[in-house]
Amino acid sequence: MTSGPEYWLRAKRALARRDPVLALIIRAHPRIALQSRGDPFKTLARSIVGQQISVKAAQSIWDRLAAVAPDLSPHAVHKLRLSRLRAVGLSMRKAEYVRDLARHFVDGTLHVHRWPKMDDEAVIDELIAVRGIGRWTAEMFLMFNLLRPDVLPADDLGLRKAVFRHYVGGDGLAETGVVRKVGEEWRPWRTVGTWYMWRSLNPVPVKH
């Protein structure tokens, strides 16, 4: 049994009472829950590495990066030349993004230790100021690293597909406005509702 964040059971019960669609999905996935991705820098760097490539290709590049920067710390990555980052398989743009991310951690531009007490939008604003990090990546970070309970990534393709299937009917992508309207019924547990929508499409959690 995977317990998940401290609010998980409370959120599941509230959503199941409120939303019959979610109630069925929650009942179908009883022993899994959202898990933290751990280290903030590694979480964000990995999200940049994985942009627009397959999971397998991203893992291969990540493994090669770990070989040249064994602890994968911001300081170790920041010391690498762009040519070294390119040699592990990163495009020039991604190499620049990863080094820029490392610099933000090294020089303290990102207030990592304050994030737990900052509200969601304040954290998102800090993150999207970093090259290579957009709102979706920031929202995934809030969900999977900080375990924030009320994040709704309305532009996420998986969520839009699941909302269309369960609340509209058939195959398609729900408009973001529809996703937000459905999500309003999930407050203050929109992270949990989103996570179960993903499970309805893919029962095994994937790394975001």
Q: Which residue has the higher pLDDT, 183 or 3?
A: 183
Residue that finishes a domain, picked among 144, 166, 189: 144
The pLDDT assigned to 206 comes to 60
Q: Measured on CA atoms in the order 85, 91, 96, 102, is the torsion positive or negative?
A: negative
What amino acid is encoded at 109 in this protein?
Answer: T
17, 76: one domain: no
SS3 readout for the chain: CCCCCCCHHHHHHHHHHHCHHHHHHHHHCCCCCCCCCCCHHHHHHHHHHCCCCCHHHHHHHHHHHHHHCCCCCHHHHHCCCHHHHHHCCCCHHHHHHHHHHHHHHHCCCCCHHHHHHCCHHHHHHHHHCCCCCCHHHHHHHHHHCCCCCCCCCCCCHHHHHHHHHHHHHCCCCCCHHHHHHHHHCCCCCHHHHHHHHHHHHCCCCCCC
Look at residue 152 and tell me whether its pLDDT is greater than 60: yes
86, 159: one domain: no
Look at residue 80 and tell me whether its pLDDT is greater than 90: yes
What range does the domain containing 162 cover?
Answer: 8-35+151-201
Residue that finishes a domain, picked among 101, 117, 144: 144
The pLDDT assigned to 97 comes to 97
Number of domains in the chain: 2
| Alpha carbons 33 and 101: distance in angstroms, whole number | 29
Task: Give the mean pLDDT of 20-25.
Answer: 97
18, 44: one domain: no
Look at residue 183 and tell me whether its pLDDT is greater than 60: yes
The pLDDT assigned to 37 comes to 79
The pLDDT assigned to 36 comes to 85
The pLDDT assigned to 202 comes to 82
Task: Give the mean pLDDT of 15-30.
Answer: 96
* CATH number reported for the structural domain that contains residue 61 in this entry: 1.10.340.30
The pLDDT assigned to 53 comes to 86
The pLDDT assigned to 123 comes to 97
Task: Give the mean pLDDT of 79-85.
Answer: 96
The pLDDT assigned to 2 comes to 62
Residue that finishes a domain, picked among 96, 122, 144: 144
90, 28: one domain: no
192, 113: one domain: no
Identify whether 207 is part of a domain: no
76, 101: one domain: yes
